[in-house]
Structure 1
Amino acid sequence: MSDGLIRIAMWSGPRNISTAMMRSWENRQDTVVVDEPLYGPYLATTGKKHAMYAEIIEHQGKDWRPIVKHLTQELPEYASENTSIYYQKHMSHHLTNDIELDFVDQLRNAFLLRHPNDVLSSYLRKHPRAAPEDLGFPQQVKLFNRIVERTGQIPPILESKDILMAPETMLTKLCNALNVNFDVAMLSWPKGYRDSDGIWAEHWYNRVIESTGFGEYTPKENRLNNEEQRIADQCLPFYEKLLEHKLT
Structure 2
Amino acid sequence: MECDGNKVVNNIIYGPGKNRYRYCKHIAKQRVPGLPNDLLQKGKHFILIQNPLNILSSFEKVVPPSFLELGLGDLVSIYSELCALGKPPPVIDAADLQQNPEDTLRGLCKDLDIPFQDAMLRWEAGPKPIDGLWAPWWYKSVHNSTHFASPRKYPRPFPFSFYDLLEQSLPFYNLLKRNVRQTSSLLRSPLPVPDLPVPVNAKLLAWVGDEIVPRESARVSVFDSVVQGGDAVWEGLRIFN
Q: Residues 28 and 75 of structure 2 are in contact (CA less than 8 Å); yes or no, is this contact kept in structure 1?
A: yes
For 2:145 and 2:181, how far apart are their aligned partners in 1? 25
Once the two structures are TM-superposed, the CA of residue 145 in structure 1 deviates from its matched residue by 0.2
Higher gyration radius (CA): 2
| Residue 235 of structure 1 pairs with residue 169 of structure 2 | yes
Once the two structures are TM-superposed, the CA of residue 160 in structure 1 deviates from its matched residue by 0.4
Kindly tell me the number of residue pairs found equivalent between the two proteins: 181
For 1:84 and 1:111, how far apart are their aligned partners in 2? 21
After superposition, give the CA deviation of every residue in 1:115-157 in whole Å (9 maximum; x if it has no partner).
1121222211111x33211101000000000000101x43110
Aligned to 1:108: 44
For 1:139 and 1:101, how far apart are their aligned partners in 2? 16
TM-score (norm 2): 0.69
Alignment of 1:70-81 (within 5 A): 70-74=11-15, 81=18
- Structure 1 runs not aligned, ≥5 long: 1-58
Alignment of 1:1-248 (within 5 A): 59-61=1-3, 63-74=4-15, 81=18, 83-127=19-63, 129-151=64-86, 153-218=87-152, 219-226=154-161, 228-248=162-182
**Match for 1:239: what amino acid?**
Y
Once the two structures are TM-superposed, the CA of residue 220 in structure 1 deviates from its matched residue by 2.0
SS at match of 1:87: coil
For 1:119 and 1:100, how far apart are their aligned partners in 2? 31
Q: Residues 62 and 138 of structure 2 are in contact (CA less than 8 Å); yes or no, is this contact kept in structure 1?
A: no
**Match for 2:104: what amino acid?**
M
RMSD: 1.9
SS at match of 2:47: strand
Higher fraction of strand: 1
Once the two structures are TM-superposed, the CA of residue 216 in structure 1 deviates from its matched residue by 0.9
Q: Residues 116 and 239 of structure 1 are in contact (CA less than 8 Å); yes or no, is this contact kept in structure 2?
A: yes
Aligned to 2:186: none
- Structure 2 runs not aligned, ≥5 long: 183-241
Q: Residues 111 and 155 of structure 1 are in contact (CA less than 8 Å); yes or no, is this contact kept in structure 2?
A: yes
**Match for 1:132: what amino acid?**
F
The percent of aligned pairs where both chains have the same amino acid is 25
